[in-house]
Amino acid sequence: MMLNKAVSLQDMEGVDADFHRSLQWMLDNPIEGVLDQTFSTEDERFGVTNVEDLKPGGRDIEVTDENKKEYVDLMVKWRIQKRIDEQFQAFINGFHELIQPNLSMFSMKENLNC
């Protein structure tokens, strides 16, 4: 996230292994007639549950075998990035006050060698 790299389903394994397995199962198996899912998710914060659309009108769009890859991609992005975007932006702003943003000119491999 700090290097503005896209997240993938594989990244979810390190965040929530059970959820990763569920999403992988969805990709590997037919889901029509098995799952009743839309392009939305419920998010509970401070005791309040909100429905979050993964894309415009998502709560009205059914996940099918044809569009399940898009659903998985959007869900991974929401769980890893968008769900914590406000907090992450505050962290990045503070980080950039201490460390110059031009670190992004280095590749991930170069950064790990430092």
Domain assignment of residue 96, yes or no? no
Domain assignment of residue 111, yes or no? no
**Number of domains observed in the structure of the chain:** 1
Boundaries of domain holding 80: 9-84
* Alpha carbon of residue 94 to chain centroid: 23
Q: What is the pTM of this model?
A: 0.69
**Complete DSSP assignment for 44-67:** EETTEEEEEESSTTGGGSB--TTT
Higher-pLDDT residue of 50, 86: 50
Q: Is it the case that residue 7 has pLDDT exceeding 60?
A: yes
Q: pLDDT tens digits for 35-60?
A: 999 999 998 878 888 999 999 999 99
**If pLDDT is split at 50, 70 and 90, which confidence band does 98 have?**
confident
pLDDT of residue 10: 83
26-35, 41-50, 71-80: least confident range: 41-50
